[in-house]
Structure 1
Amino acid sequence: MSCPQVALLVCDRFSPFHLSVPGLVFGNSLPGEALFDLRLCAAEPGPLTSSLGLQLVAGQDLSGLATADLVVVPYWRAPDERPPEPLLQALQQAHGRGARLVGLCLGTYVLAYAGLLDGRPAATHWEFAADFAARFPAVGLDAEALYLDDGDLVTSAGTAASLDCCLHLVRQYHGPALANRLARRLVVAPHREGGQAQFIERPLPQGGADARINGLLARLEQQLAAPGSLDALAASVAMSRRTFTRKFLQATGLSVGEWLTQRRLQQAQGLLLAGHSVARIAEQLGFGSEAALRTQFKRQYRLTPSQWRRNFQGQ
């Protein structure tokens, strides 16, 4: 296969880490294997200074996008700052002539500011999901995906997900064998599916001002396997069923069933790392069956319990 030309954009106040990820993957890190023709392109007039004070002189300016097969935006310095118009126009022109555009982490913002993601799916770092969705309501944001490949537009979440996304592109252009060799050389997992969920910490609300609900939450923590019926729980705090469900929702932001499921899944994560079997965890936490635990775990984390255990074992 021919050697795809990659234009890697560098903006002022760039992040050295985010720049180095596509630089490593597309910069021919396999000795003797010319996989890509990588060119650093200045997205703005220089000198370009990193967030750590490093200065960089790119070999080309925006004219380097004119012949690129892949245009990679590895980062953007400020979600609330609209990128310079020459950069946005260069991206629009590159996309219009058929180049494939890649936005890594907050680089997704740059593609969105250029209007290229309207009506299209996209991923970005989960911490900025609410901000992104508010700024670009026409974009189909998936706040949990590691990366999304929509053909001519590819976007990813932050940090390690950018590496997953770049390896995914290597796999597409050069096949899994070369991609796996490169992953081994970089000492990273060879393949994570883009639809896998970002590992987002979601602490559950601990309660509100109602002391009876707070006391019940503490008791429920000790009896997740058999919490009792809704009527029994309401009676235990001397409330009608209707009042109880309303106050529980006010205190936690969740229904009783949702709160129990989330808490059970969080407990399941710890038990998986402790080496317990899925069947034992399902029985211990009251999932009803091993199949029910697997289904709910996969729905929440987009990983099976076994896959989750492999990803986090030893961390």
Structure 2
Amino acid sequence: MSTSFGFTSTAEEIATAFADEIRGKNVLITGTSLNGLGFETARVIAKYAALVIITGYNTERLKLAEAALKQEIPSANIRPLILNLASLANVRAAAAEVNAYPESIDVLINNAASSICAFKLTQDGFEQQLATDHLGPFLFTALVLPKVLAAQSATHTPRVVYVASGSHAWCDGVDLAVLERPDAATYKAMTAYAQAKSANILTASELARRAAGRIHAYSLRPGAIATNFTENPEAREELLAAGIITEDGKPNLKANLPWKTLPQGASTIIVAAFDPSLNDKNGCYLTDCAEDNKSVAPHTADPVMAEKLWALSERLVDVKFL
């Protein structure tokens, strides 16, 4: 069915097409601030899903997102969850809250990401981007996995989706030594972002392998989109230097990037979360609403590296996962 979708498809179109798959499902989406991919994803599925759990680390922004969703879709069942992926203690607290819910989780969408930023350490001593984009989601997914596995039935396999990026190819792979021992002297903000997104893809493929059919896991490239991510003051300097945005913070249309609208950007997330034609493509990477494993950089398609990253991540966040 997804073959009829592509670059210009919107999340709304795809949610409408897969309404029967979304209906009755409980979906948890991380990072759902207004004007972001997570919010748009929540917005288009809220009219069908049984429950949409939205997350954020900022209470006020989370309230704004919840209010906007309820105003547009009064019938929607929206549940906010405070989740700061840069804090392992907060991740554990949020996961405990999820595990106390009466519902299982049919789809977990790991969407939240740090802004591209100058070198900084989290309270746990990890580099901000790799912590927020990889280690935090790794721990969170591990801890709520019982809720995800509980959604499995004879007719339904739960899904875990990682929103990665085509920029994973801008590095030579995840530097495991730097993940464990961050180094301010060698730090480059865009390289850290690329490494974090590489880690998302590696984690999705390894999760798919380890779950052995009990969970379907996918990663994806949403495309180049002007969101609150590109508007972040910290990220602006790096994006400007890379020629991705212009001085006024707008998309650089002269850059060799096919820009998408926010609804177009969220479309591949909906496909990854609900398209039944992906059932026999477990672990795959998607671009423009379709499987696109050929565009995964070699360093991110290495099963040995995926296993090493998994083992190190388990040790760093102190969790055993599948």
Tell me which structure has the larger Cα radius of gyration. 1
TM range (shorter): 0.3 to 0.5
Normalising to structure 2: TM-score of the pair?
0.33
Normalising to structure 1: TM-score of the pair?
0.34
Q: Which has the higher contact order (CA 8 A, sep 6+)?
A: 2
